[in-house]
Chains A and B, each alone.
Chain A
């Protein structure tokens, strides 16, 4: 029962967030500089429109209605999978975005996996070796990772692994997992840094808790205390953090896809931005935003596995 209540509450919280995303996406199209009517007329070849032309186009675009009505129209269409057609090439935006979404998701999820494995693993290692030289070195390294811009790291990795060592491909996705390694590493580096720092700090603060003293008093080995108790307890805040990072990874993928010539959402929206193709940008925000929300939801459900209090008593959403 408590589980259902928790899930129900999570789903309820989703609705305003999704509406917020759609509103943000809609407003993006409205705050764009330039007169949309003139722009639309220009695109169909009318450079010097008459007043009639403009009025007709205004009605056609639905701009004669009030802003809330325009939003509802737009949302209604979006919900039916109609995100309009792109200015450049007149493509069906929804279709274009959906074919690229899996590619971006693949890269982002691999990056996420790298962040979790190395971030959490490194954090546990640092906490276990706390106050030794290994801890100091790893801590410095994680702060460094946190301070490197992803684009520079990507170029650096390409120089080293592709140009000098000829180990990994520089671009595209046609070599399977091998072509995912560099983008995923570049994309996740900063998150590896912050996750490992956070994990370390959290485990160390757990070690000050009374139940750890008791676990030690039982005569458990250091590993059993670290992994069985301290780490398991710090999983709850770590999972929250990682959920938040996914947003950063999705955004960062724009830059990384661009560098590695990966045909995902990021490189699509970048070319749209360069061409001022507003409907594409709107669609991008809507699709990525929704993906992010759904992924955070999935991660929230992981809570149920690691936090019995929520599983049994509902806890706070």
Chain B
């Protein structure tokens, strides 16, 4: 019982950190003390002080304001990309698992090819070739990550499909769509939730990485990844404070997403019987 209480407490803590970050990005215009885009060449590379709590960057922009704004674009992009790639994976996985036979054969063969491709390499190349906008990033993330989820869904769907009661539903005259919506989908809900958090953490890092390379969120839009790269990289010897805030924000966001995933897994996964020794 106490274990469960401890888990609940941890869950509440992690959720409130996540919520705080999300709220911060949503209400950025009200929270930020300055306009994050306002350039002021007289105030370049100021160390943290009263007027600028986190100092200013190479263009004299207020770092605190940029940090507050910095999660907006990438968080939105990461959520959208994760949702898209999972949506694609879900549909393809359900089709493969539910139809079986030759359809499944073809989809599995294609999945094998995609699984064999080095995702990150392809992602960088794709974003590099395409135009620099969010559509390209989402496309690249979907292309390189739909496969894992579709395999998982396929397996689950095949498991559910082989249950007797599904056969019973067919006999009672239920349509395919009805069976998928009413019986197959609810059975994979837990997996969808768990996968979403696990993937979201990874995608946030990928987007930050792309932004760092100058391939993700485009300047002047404030973004944590871009902040680390754009100014901090060049000036981190003279102004190391530029490195801390945006980096720690990315870490805090990813960490809380990952912890949330872990806690949810503990909570939703029933099977947990380890060490056979007292």
Q: Return A187 CB to nearest CB of chain B, in Å.
A: 11
Q: How far is the CA of A247 from the CA of B128 in the complex (A)?
A: 18
Contact residues of B with A, CB < 8 Å? 109, 112-114, 116-126, 128-131, 201, 205, 208-209, 212-215, 225, 228-229, 232-233, 236-237, 240, 243, 247, 250-251, 254-255, 257-259, 262, 273-277
**What's the A-B contact tally at a CB cutoff of 8 Å?**
161
Whether the pair A149, B208 counts as a contact (CB closer than 8 A) is yes
Using A149-B251, A273-B215 as known contacts, say yes or no to A205 and B120 having CB atoms under 8 A apart.
Answer: no
Q: Provide the residues of chain B in CB contact with A130, threshold 8 Å.
A: 274-275
Using A259-B233, A289-B118 as known contacts, say yes or no to A147 and B276 having CB atoms under 8 A apart.
Answer: no
Whether the pair B276, A208 counts as a contact (CB closer than 8 A) is yes
Using A149-B247, A212-B276 as known contacts, say yes or no to A289 and B121 having CB atoms under 8 A apart.
Answer: yes
Which secondary structure dominates chain B's binding surface?
helix
Q: Does A159 belong to the interface (CB within 8 Å)?
A: yes
The 10 closest A-B pairs by CB, nearest first: A251-B120, A17-B116, A273-B128, A247-B118, A20-B113, A147-B254, A147-B255, A152-B247, A292-B118, A204-B274
9 sampled A-B residue pairs with Cβ under 8 A: A14-B116, A24-B122, A143-B259, A213-B276, A251-B121, A270-B213, A274-B214, A278-B129, A289-B122
**Smallest Cβ-Cβ distance to A158: which chain B residue:** B236
Whether the pair B118, A251 counts as a contact (CB closer than 8 A) is yes
Whether the pair A285, B125 counts as a contact (CB closer than 8 A) is yes
Binary contact readout A137-156 vs B (1 if CB under 8 angstroms, 0 otherwise)? 00000011011111110011
Of A17, A216, A251, which one neighbours B124 at CB under 8 angstroms? A251
Q: How far is the CA of A259 from the CA of B233 in the complex (A)?
A: 8
Q: Provide the residues of chain A in CB contact with B124, threshold 8 Å.
A: 251, 254, 269, 273
Q: Provide the residues of chain B in CB contact with A113, threshold 8 Å.
A: none
Which secondary structure dominates chain A's binding surface?
helix
Q: Does A16 belong to the interface (CB within 8 Å)?
A: yes
Q: How far is the CA of A156 from the CA of B129 in the complex (A)?
A: 30
**Smallest Cβ-Cβ distance to B212: which chain A residue:** A151
Q: Provide the residues of chain B in CB contact with A301, threshold 8 Å.
A: none
Q: Does A255 belong to the interface (CB within 8 Å)?
A: yes
Q: Return B142 CB to nearest CB of chain A, in Å.
A: 14
Of A20, A24, A151, which one neighbours B229 at CB under 8 angstroms? A151
Q: Does A92 belong to the interface (CB within 8 Å)?
A: no
Query: How many A residues have CB within 8 A of the partner chain?
Result: 60
Q: Return B17 CB to nearest CB of chain A, in Å.
A: 12
Q: How far is the CA of A156 from the CA of B247 in the complex (A)?
A: 9
Whether the pair B275, A17 counts as a contact (CB closer than 8 A) is no
Q: Return A264 CB to nearest CB of chain B, in Å.
A: 13
Whether the pair A155, B121 counts as a contact (CB closer than 8 A) is no
